[in-house]
Amino acid sequence: MPYQLISKNEYGETAIESSSEDLNKLTELARKKVTEDNISNALALDDKINNWESCFVEILNTEGEPTNEAVYGGMDRGKHFVYHFKKNGAEKVYLGDVDVPMRFYIGTDNKKDLYASVPSMKRRGERDLITEIGHQGLVGKTFYYIFKR
C-alpha cells in the first residue's frame, strides 16, 4: 500500500514530494521540509512563529500526542479527510463527520517543536495554538500531507 507525501501551495498546486510504504519515513521528510521552509530561512524567533510559510498536519491521539494511526489526507469532493488505519487497511474519515484533534507543525528550532499559533484574544502577550483545519491563520499556507495511492 504505497503512500505519497504531497505538498499543496496557496494556489492549489500540488506536488508529489516522495513515495514510500513507510508512513514514518514520509512523516519525517514532511517535518524536515517544513523546518527548511520556515526555520532555516528565518532570522529571529518572531519570524519563525509569525511569518511561517508551510505546515504539516499532525493528528493527535487521546493523550494529545501525534499518531500515525490516522493521518491527514487532503481534500476529496471539497471536504477535508483523514485516513484512519486499522488492521485490515485504511478508512477515509471526513472531518466534520467526526471530531479529530490536530495541530499544525511549523518546524523544529533548537530541538523544540513549533506549532502554528495566533496571538491570544484572552491573554495578552500569549499565543493560542491553531487546532482547526479551517482556521483563518492557515489561509495562504503550503500544506504537507500524506496521500494513499
Q: What's the pLDDT at 5? A: 96
Q: At 49, give phi and psi (nearest 5°).
A: -85, -35
| Beta strand 70-76 pairing with 14-20 | unpaired
> pLDDT at residue 1 above 60?
no
Q: What's the pLDDT at 89? A: 80
In tens, the pLDDT along 4-61 reads 999 999 999 999 999 999 999 999 999 999 999 998 776 666 666 778 899 999 999 9
The confidence band for 3, taking pLDDT boundaries of 50, 70 and 90, is very high
Q: At 5, give phi and psi (nearest 5°).
A: -90, 120
CA atoms of 29 and 5, how far apart (whole Å) = 8
> pLDDT at residue 74 above 70?
yes
